[in-house]
Amino acid sequence: MARFIFITGGVVSSLGKGLASAALGALLQARGYSVRLRKLDPYLNVDPGTMSPFEHGEVFVTDDGAETDLDLGHYERFTGVPARMTDSVSSGRIYSNVLEKERRGDYLGKTIQVVPHVTNEIKEFLTIGEDEVDFMLCEIGGTVGDIEGLPFFEAIRQFSHDKPRGQCIFMHLTLLPYLSASGELKTKPTQHSVKELQSIGIAPDILVCRSEQPIPEKEREKIALFCNVRKESVVAAYDLKSIYEAPLAYHDQGLDQAVLDAFQISPAPKPDLSRWYDVKDRIENPEGEVRVAIVGKYTQLEDAYKSIAEALTHGGMANRVKVRQEWVDAEIFDREDPAPHLEGFDAILVPGGFGERGTEGKIKAAQFARERRIPYLGICLGMQMAVIEAARNVAGLEDAGSEEFDHEAGKKRFTHVVYHLKEWVQGNEKVVRKKTDGKGGTMRLGAYDAVLKEGSKVAQAYGRLDIDERHRHRYEVDIQFREELEKAGLCFSGMSPDGRLPEIVEWPDHPWFIGVQYHPELKSKPFDPHPLFRDFVRAAKDAALLV
């Protein structure tokens, strides 16, 4: 039966709970334990699938088709454990489940209340798969004191009492602000945060204190005394040059040992951190640099493309180069020639997105990469824009476009090279979708198989012909234009097993130009870079050497 670690935060948001959770999971794995990480979010959205990337960053998609918080991406990247639908839940999902049960009569006419019905639903969620791993790490979104988070805090308080003594511990992240005027680290915000946590019945076992400055021994002792924790359980979390230094940094500060001590596990297995020393070496000792332009429409917020940024870093590590990522607003190309903005880059990446805004700029970016023979990777919408560019400028379909854009405009303007995906096969069942369906969870979501063309660049990258990758899209390249596009030279190098849905396109006569309908970035890890990002960065490296 799993031991549970509940990770909470206080003082301010964005302290790095997700990163701390992921790093701790990696450290426990290094000691030979199996782990699973979960995220409990207090917002009322059923999931983040309908949120703007400006609101919540990217949506991370699991193999089984869940749209989840981006922290699950951190969990996967650090532990290699594929996230599942049962690893993410929001207040919206919890309340929705409770209300569905009430409507069915499952509560036998009782008055439905936050305690015990909502808290019981949360506790049921926590127990899913508890017999599968040694440690279950559960991160609570938001900060202690947030009104919307109270049901979750009450649920984990109850849960810890329901379990045998010593099976649950609490880890609390706080901020130690540094006042430069007085040259002091201030512990009072941490004290107040812990006091708030204690007032709802939770006493932290471990404090992780985010600080820009080293924590003096005197201040560490003060925190331990006033927050009622052992001095060894006050762990410093300093700013890092790379998030992938976190496992080693937290190990040096004694986080994993503090956790094992809190569970009274002795003697503690020795950790094997060779994987993370290799990752650190590849980050700190690159043998060159490449410049990659990411042409998108959410460039003001890097979290909107978090997994892409990390996958490029992984590709750089695989090739021993530093990837300098530069964000280019696609809308600029609606008004200006892309050449002055894209010249000098070693590669161009066009990521996914929804809606027509910025798409003409993305099409021009694909054209620039094709004509200038610059390595190009188009993901989801980036693939669709590359196909539309090929249709317009090579195959002679000058009015080629997407049904998505006509749907927004309310009138037909284009020949629909890209169309609304009405049906597809998921497992052994046919899924049917209409444009009038609600937006939440109505896309082609999760892992689907694809068959690659022998001898293609993608087949060379993967080293096999059968793959499965994660999808998140409503629109699809129309197979009826395949013959015209292939006559123009574009190769459909990956198809769904039934041959109906294009998964990958590439230009065979180009050094490296590939578009994929799926999201390969979601499966990339620092110790196991995704094959497409590995080869994309390699192509960028080759391009840089030619200059």
Does residue 231 register a pLDDT over 90? yes
d(CA 226, CA 311): 42
Task: Say what the pLDDT of residue 409 is.
Answer: 57
- Shared domain check, 304 and 264: no
Least confident interval from 234-243, 294-303, 451-460, 512-521: 294-303
- Shared domain check, 295 and 273: no
Does residue 239 register a pLDDT over 70? yes
pLDDT in tens, 274-328: 999 999 999 999 999 999 999 987 666 677 889 999 999 999 999 999 999 999 9
Q: Of 511, 545, 524, give the one whose Cα is nearest residue 321.
A: 545
Beta pairing, strands 423-426 & 429-432 = antiparallel
Task: Say what the pLDDT of residue 336 is.
Answer: 86
Which residue range is the domain that position 265 belongs to? 3-279
Q: What is the mean pLDDT of residues 220-243?
A: 95
The residue annotated as part of the active site, out of 227, 380, 403, 476, is 380
- Better-scored residue on pLDDT, 398 or 258: 258
Task: Say what the pLDDT of residue 249 is.
Answer: 97
Task: Say what the pLDDT of residue 304 is.
Answer: 82
DSSP secondary structure letter of residue 525:
B
Q: Which two tokens stand for residue 455?
A: 């001898």
Q: Are 472 and 352 in contact (CB under 8 A)?
A: yes
- Shared domain check, 353 and 209: no
User: Across the chain, what does the average pLDDT equal?
Assistant: 92
pLDDT in tens, 363-416: 999 999 999 999 999 999 999 999 999 999 999 998 988 988 776 656 677 788
Task: Say what the pLDDT of residue 406 is.
Answer: 73
Please report which helix (H) or strand (E) contains residue 513, including its range. strand 513-516
Which residues make Cβ contacts (< 8 Å) with residue 546, sequence separation at least 6? none
- Shared domain check, 367 and 269: no
Q: Are 392 and 495 in contact (CB under 8 A)?
A: no
pLDDT in tens, 429-455: 666 666 555 545 568 899 999 999 999
Task: Say what the pLDDT of residue 516 is.
Answer: 98
Q: Out of 239, 264, 279, pick the residue that ends a domain.
A: 279
Strands (DSSP E) contained in 79-230 are: 88-90, 135-140, 168-175, 178-179, 184-185, 206-211
Task: Say what the pLDDT of residue 334 is.
Answer: 81
pLDDT in tens, 8-34: 999 888 889 999 999 999 999 999 999
- Better-scored residue on pLDDT, 425 or 302: 302
For the chain, how long is the longest CA-to-CA vector? 75
Beta pairing, strands 376-379 & 513-516 = parallel
Does residue 176 register a pLDDT over 90? yes
**Annotation says 161 is catalytic:** no
Q: Which two tokens stand for residue 310?
A: 């990390």
Task: Say what the pLDDT of residue 355 is.
Answer: 75
Q: Of 130, 135, 128, give the one whose Cα is nearest residue 31.
A: 135
Does residue 180 register a pLDDT over 70? yes
What are phi and psi for residue 305, nearest 5 degrees? -125, 40
Q: Out of 242, 260, 279, pick the residue that ends a domain.
A: 279
Q: Of 239, 281, 273, 238, give the one whose Cα is nearest residue 256.
A: 273
Tell me if residue 506 falls in helix, strand or coil.
strand
The residue annotated as part of the active site, out of 139, 219, 521, 530, is 521
- Shared domain check, 506 and 440: yes
- Shared domain check, 360 and 247: no
Angle at CA 315, nearest 5°, toward 444 and 511? Answer: 85
- Shared domain check, 384 and 320: yes
Task: Say what the pLDDT of residue 461 is.
Answer: 97
- Shared domain check, 290 and 254: no
Global pTM reads 0.92
User: What total number of domains does the chain contain?
Assistant: 2
CATH code at 316? Answer: 3.40.50.880
Query: What DSSP line would sit under 406-454, residue for residue?
Result: HHHHTS--SEEEEEE--EEEETTEEEE--TTS-STT-SEEEEEEEEEPT
d(CA 453, CA 493): 5
142-170 burial by CB neighbour count: b if 16+ within 10 A, else e? bbbbbeebbbbbbbbbbbbeebeeeebbb
Does residue 53 register a pLDDT over 80? no
d(CA 478, CA 254): 55
pLDDT in tens, 110-167: 999 999 999 999 999 999 999 999 999 999 999 998 999 999 999 999 999 999 999 9
- Shared domain check, 179 and 70: yes
Task: Say what the pLDDT of residue 380 is.
Answer: 95
Q: Out of 218, 244, 279, pick the residue that ends a domain.
A: 279
**Annotation says 521 is catalytic:** yes
Q: Burial level of 355, CB count in 10 A (0-12/13-18/19+)?
A: exposed
Q: What is the mean pLDDT of residues 252-270?
A: 95
**Annotation says 341 is catalytic:** no
Task: Say what the pLDDT of residue 54 is.
Answer: 65
d(CA 373, CA 347): 9
Q: Are 127 and 158 in contact (CB under 8 A)?
A: no
Tell me if residue 523 falls in helix, strand or coil.
helix
- Shared domain check, 260 and 342: no
CATH code at 163? Answer: 3.40.50.300
Q: Which two tokens stand for residue 278?
A: 């290799």
- Shared domain check, 98 and 217: yes
Task: Say what the pLDDT of residue 250 is.
Answer: 97
Beta pairing, strands 491-495 & 502-506 = antiparallel
Task: Say what the pLDDT of residue 436 is.
Answer: 54
Residues comprising the chain, all counted: 547
Does residue 2 register a pLDDT over 70? yes
- Shared domain check, 215 and 293: no
Q: Are 172 and 20 in contact (CB under 8 A)?
A: no
